[in-house]
Amino acid sequence: MGDRVYICKIPSVSIGTAVQDVVALFSTTKGLILHHLHLEASVSAEAALRMRLKRASATVTTGSGGAAGSPVPVDPSDAATGTTARLSDTTQATTSGAFTDLAEFYWDVSLPFDHLPAPEDRERCIINGGLFLDLPATITATTIAGYVKFAEVP
């Protein structure tokens, strides 16, 4: 049996008025692999937005102020996900372990943002860990939309 792949829509949401988690994925039953992260902004003016991709090494406590995401299986015959997805939490998630910065990006919001690593380069986390895309500093409020695609693995 292969990995179960899920996609979570990021509906039109305002980000940036706080240091925050743009996307948070974590599971108490499976490890996770990030396949693709796609974002678009509703602005046409150039502006650099700094983002970090980070991993939690142990139990995650949910952030707040945002909304729950609703991941759906890419293969409609797969079971529902056991992964918690959070979107635009203005109070960031915490971990009983440590966060490790995996990548840092400067996104020109006048263009789409795609993080689509080759299969051998995909970021992973263990059971009880998590993957997070955050804003480490406040910015002018920006409305974004997009999706995150990930796999659950034993």
| 95-126 residue pLDDT tens | 999 999 999 999 999 999 999 999 999 999 99
Q: What is the pTM of this model?
A: 0.93
Angstrom distance (rounded) from CA 86 to CA 69: 5
Which residues in the chain belong to E strands, given as ranges? 4-15, 20-26, 31-41, 48-56, 60-61, 67-68, 72-73, 84-89, 94-95, 99-108, 113-115, 124-125, 130-135, 142-153
How many other CB atoms sit within 10 Å of the CB of residue 70?
A: 14
pLDDT at 88 exceeding the cut of 90: yes
pLDDT (0 to 100) of residue 43: 86
The token pair that represents 13 in the structure block: 């949401």
What is the rounded average pLDDT for all residues in the chain? 94
Q: What is the dihedral of CA 132, 133, 138, 142, to 10 degrees?
A: -130
Positive/negative CA dihedral, 93, 105, 12, 32? negative
pLDDT (0 to 100) of residue 100: 97
pLDDT at 1 exceeding the cut of 60: no
Q: For 16-71, what is each residue's pLDDT tens digit?
A: 889 999 999 999 999 999 999 999 999 878 888 999 999 999 999 999 999 999 99
